[in-house]
């Protein structure tokens, strides 16, 4: 049975891997498969990396800042999904509402998972720092 990484560095690396994989997966989904159907409409989902990257850079990729960046990316993905569902319903686009909702939930869930992992990394770093001070 594998254990969850116990060092702050390993947890940070796992969180970073999940966040990069989620972003690449989103970009591949937009480029190769399409979420809404039309490539121009799929650009809505680029809001997620557009929100996450400036926040991550501004916070120098620190765990606390990455939590905010990836939570923002998850929220931006949900907002893009709501707009995309509206476009599908009103324009009768080739994509189905169920597909758009499921893909939006998947991408938002991946960003939320990465934010949660960064939060775990941040908490472990704080507890390790407290233990080092008391020793």
Q: Do 65 and 58 form a contact (C-beta atoms < 8 A)?
A: yes
Separation of alpha carbons 93 and 77, rounded Å: 19
The pLDDT, as a whole number, for residue 38 is 63
| Parent domain of 66 | 22-123
Q: Judge whether 46 and 30 are in contact, CB under 8 Å.
A: yes
Structural domain includes residue 133: no
* Average pLDDT of span 17-42: 88
Instruction: Report pLDDT for 5.
Output: 65
Does residue 95 lie in a domain region? yes
Is 119 among the domain residues? yes
- Say if 75 falls within a structural domain: yes
- Quote the pLDDT of residue 33: 81
Q: What is the count of structural domains for the chain?
A: 1
Q: Determine the pLDDT at residue 32.
A: 84
- Indicate whether 110 belongs to any domain: yes
Residue 38, domain member (yes or no): yes
């Amino acid at each position: 049975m594998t254990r969850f990484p116990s060092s702050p560095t390993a947890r940070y690396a796992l969180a970073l891997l999940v966040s990069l994989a989620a972003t690449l997966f989103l970009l591949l989904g937009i480029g190769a498969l399409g979420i809404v159907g039309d490539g121009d409409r799929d650009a809505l989902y680029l809001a997620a990396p557009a929100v996450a990257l400036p926040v991550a850079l501004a916070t120098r990729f620190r765990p606390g800042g990455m939590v905010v960046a990836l939570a923002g990316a998850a929220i931006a993905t949900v907002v893009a999904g709501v707009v995309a569902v509206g476009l599908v319903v009103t324009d009768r686009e080739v994509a189905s509402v169920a597909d758009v909702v499921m893909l939006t939930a998947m991408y938002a869930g991946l960003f939320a998972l990465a934010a949660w992992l960064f939060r775990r990394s941040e908490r472990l770093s704080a507890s390790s720092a407290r233990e080092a001070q008391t020793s």
